[in-house]
Amino acid sequence: MDATTATTSSVDDLPDLSSSHPVPPECVEEFRSHGHTVVRGLASPDEVAAFAPTLVRRAQELAWDRRPLAERDTYGRAFLQASNLWQHDPVAARFVLARRFAEVAATLLGVDGVRLYHDQALCKEPGGGHTPWHQDQVYWPLDTDRTITMWMPLVDVRADMGMVFASGTHRDGCLGTEVIGDASQEHFDALVRDRGWSLASHAPFVAGDATFHAGWTLHSAPANPTGSMRSVMTIIWFADGTRVGEVDSPFRRFDQQVWLGGIESGELAAGPLNPVLFSR
């Protein structure tokens, strides 16, 4: 880990995010029936403010594609994207490895423990494009449906800029192998029309509110027409005890190598990059 951006004392001065946060029963029910929910005030605005400058700066430094917006494809225009910030900065690690967030994830999933899959900073730039419809788990070689993503804005987000979820789609498993892009937008737009799924967004948000969605929940997000960055931090967990599943696409091969450390299909997904972050 590169500790050049924070001293031990400055990290120790940060909020520790280890305390439990109550999860209302209606959130648990909403997650299980619809595949998504929102937990308000999961981090306070002051807690977010302590981490956000480092998270946003690191996201911009580590972004996969920093070309001008006009030179990127649809996926690239959706956001500046950087992953596993926790391996690069001790401030990011304190946020990503937080017990509080992982405990909420385990509660919503109804499991005794969760492991980290990876984190991802998603910064939708001023004028940034829409995020096409997609299912996260098409990328993930994990032999379980007990997967969950937290999407926490680091800034206040207005009502027309939150994610949009197709409720109940988590129960249908893989709805198509299209990865995020123009093809997935076209494919899933047609499915949304044909199947009449109910669409929902939990926006607006105060910084520190967080949505949670299951790995197979279909979702998208609108463009950013404002002059401000919509900075979001996401964390993905899976149930402890999960095994690596089929590696049946180049995208899952990438994930197997990068996020699971090359652990082979059928073996426990329990490598050093996937620590247990909460256990009962």
HSE-up of 116 (CA within 13 Å, CB side)?
Answer: 26
Residue 274 belongs to a domain: no
- Beta strands 230-239 and 147-153 are antiparallel
Position 270 in a domain: no
Q: Is residue 129 part of a domain?
A: yes
Token code pair at residue 1: 């880990």
pLDDT tens readout for residues 81-125: 999 999 999 999 999 999 999 999 999 999 999 999 999 999 999
Range with the poorest average pLDDT among 73-82, 120-129, 204-213, 257-266 = 73-82
Domain count within the chain: 1
Report percent pLDDT > 70 for the chain: 97
- pLDDT of 261: 96
Which of the four pLDDT bands, split at 50, 70 and 90, describes residue 78? Answer: confident
The number of beta carbons lying within 10 Å of the beta carbon of residue 276 is: 13
| Low-confidence winner among 69-73, 152-156, 185-189, 224-228 (lowest mean pLDDT) | 69-73
pLDDT tens digit string along 8-62? 447 889 999 999 999 999 999 999 999 999 999 999 999 999 999 999 999 999 9
In contact, 65 and 76? CB cutoff 8 Å: yes
The answer as to whether 245 is a domain residue is yes
- Residue 5 within a domain: no
Which pLDDT does position 128 carry in this prediction?
92
3 band by pLDDT with thresholds 50, 70 and 90:
very low
Q: Please check whether residue 238 lies inside any domain of the structure.
A: yes
Sign for the pseudo-dihedral over CA of 134, 172, 33, 191: positive
pLDDT at 67 over 70: yes
User: In whole angstroms, what is the distance from residue 169 CA to residue 35 CA?
Assistant: 7
Residue 145 is part of a domain; what is its CATH number?
2.60.120.620
pLDDT at residue 264 in the model: 97
For 107, the domain range is 23-260
Query: For position 196, what pLDDT does the model report?
Result: 95
Rounded to two decimals, the pTM is 0.94
Residue 16 belongs to a domain: no
In a domain, 200, yes or no: yes
